Amino acid sequence: MSKQEQLQQLLGELKAALPELKEIIVASSDGLPVAQLGESEIATRLAAMAATAHGLGKRIATTTHLGNLVEIVIRGDQAYFIAYAIGDKGILGLTTPAGSNLGLVRLEAQEYARKLAGIL
């Protein structure tokens, strides 16, 4: 199985574990889409924004002595965007409706970020 197929399989598993997720993307650290589930027409923009948010989050965490960046959560009145580092090579970004169980989303997403890091 190719790396791309492995990535898509893991994203499918994450979606099955958290069916409320709307967009799931794996982006390279420089903001290019690597794999996604959801609306393909926004994948490029979402990947770029995930990488930008992650870079800014790392800088804030470093500057304010928070330790290593774990996650970035952006909360809108209708949904959340959450991003996790996939090792040093990528970012897992996802969107979920405002009523989602963020504790469960965080548990699952962190585990899948570790699995994705093994592939990237």
Three-state SS at 3: helix
Model pLDDT for residues 23-57, shown as the tens digit of each residue:
999 999 999 999 998 777 788 899 999 999 999 99
Where does the pLDDT of residue 20 fall: very low under 50, low under 70, confident under 90, or very high at 90 and above? very high
Which residue segment(s) compose the domain that 22 sits in?
Answer: 3-119
Looking at the predicted structure, is the pLDDT value of residue 4 above 90? Answer: no
How far apart (Å, rounded) are the C-alpha atoms in residues 7 and 115?
A: 9
Model pLDDT for residues 70-110, shown as the tens digit of each residue:
899 999 999 999 999 998 889 999 999 999 999 999 999 99
DSSP assigned state of 87: T
Encoding tokens for residue 8? 């898509």
Q: Indicate which CATH number applies to the domain containing 57.
A: 3.30.450.30
> Per the confidence metrics, is the pTM higher than 0.85?
yes
- Number of structural domains (the chain) is 1
State which H helix or E strand residue 116 sits in.
helix 102-119
Give the pLDDT confidence score for residue 40 in this predicted structure.
Answer: 72
Give me the residues paired with residue 72 across strands. Answer: 83
| Sign of the torsion formed by the C-alpha atoms of 33, 38, 39 and 42 | negative
Looking at the predicted structure, is the pLDDT value of residue 11 above 90? Answer: yes
Give the pLDDT confidence score for residue 108 in this predicted structure.
Answer: 93
DSSP assigned state of 90: E
DSSP assigned state of 100: S
Three-state SS at 113: helix
